[in-house]
C-alpha cells in the first residue's frame, strides 16, 4: 500500500504531466483527442490518489479541496460521455496551479 507522501507525489507528478500539454493552450486541447485523453487520465489519477490520502493527512491541509478533487474524479470516471470540456479546461488552468502550491508545502 502506498503511503500518503507517495500519494501526494503521485498527484504532483500528474499535475506536471498535465502542465506539459496544457502549455499548448485551449485550442490544442479542443482539437487534439490525444491531449484531451492525456489530461483526463491524469485528472483521474489526481482524484484517485487524493481519495487514498488518509483523513488525518487531509485535515493537515485544509487549503486543498479534497472532496472536490475526489468528486471530479468520480464525474470523469462515471460520466465520461457527459464530460464538459469547458469545466475540465477551467480546472486545469484555475485549480491545478494553487493545488500544486499547496502540495509543495506538504512534501519534505
32-68 residue pLDDT tens: 999 999 999 999 999 999 999 999 999 999 999 999 9
CA distances from 95 to 3, 72, 73, 98 (A): 24, 12, 14, 6
Q: For residue 1, is pLDDT > 90?
A: no
Catalytic site includes residue 79: no
Cβ–Cβ < 8 Å for 42, 17: yes
In this prediction, residue 18 has a pLDDT band, given cuts at 50, 70 and 90, of: very high
pLDDT digit string, tens, across residues 70-88: 999 999 999 878 899 999 9
Catalytic site includes residue 42: no
Of 2, 24, 51, 73, which is the active-site residue? 73
> Whole-structure pTM over 0.85, yes or no?
yes
Of 2, 20, 78, 94, which is the active-site residue? 78
Amino acid at each position: 500500500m502506498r503511503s500518503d507522501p507517495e500519494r501526494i507525489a503521485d498527484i504532483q507528478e500528474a499535475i506536471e504531466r498535465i502542465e506539459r500539454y496544457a502549455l499548448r493552450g485551449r485550442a490544442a486541447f479542443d482539437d487534439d483527442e490525444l491531449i484531451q485523453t492525456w489530461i483526463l487520465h491524469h485528472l483521474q489519477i489526481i482524484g484517485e490518489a487524493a481519495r487514498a490520502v488518509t483523513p488525518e493527512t487531509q485535515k493537515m491541509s485544509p487549503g486543498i479541496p479534497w472532496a472536490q478533487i475526489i468528486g471530479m474524479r468520480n464525474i470523469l470516471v462515471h460520466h465520461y460521455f457527459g464530460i464538459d470540456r469547458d469545466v475540465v479546461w477551467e480546472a486545469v488552468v484555475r485549480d491545478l496551479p494553487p493545488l500544486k502550491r499547496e502540495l509543495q508545502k506538504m512534501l519534505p
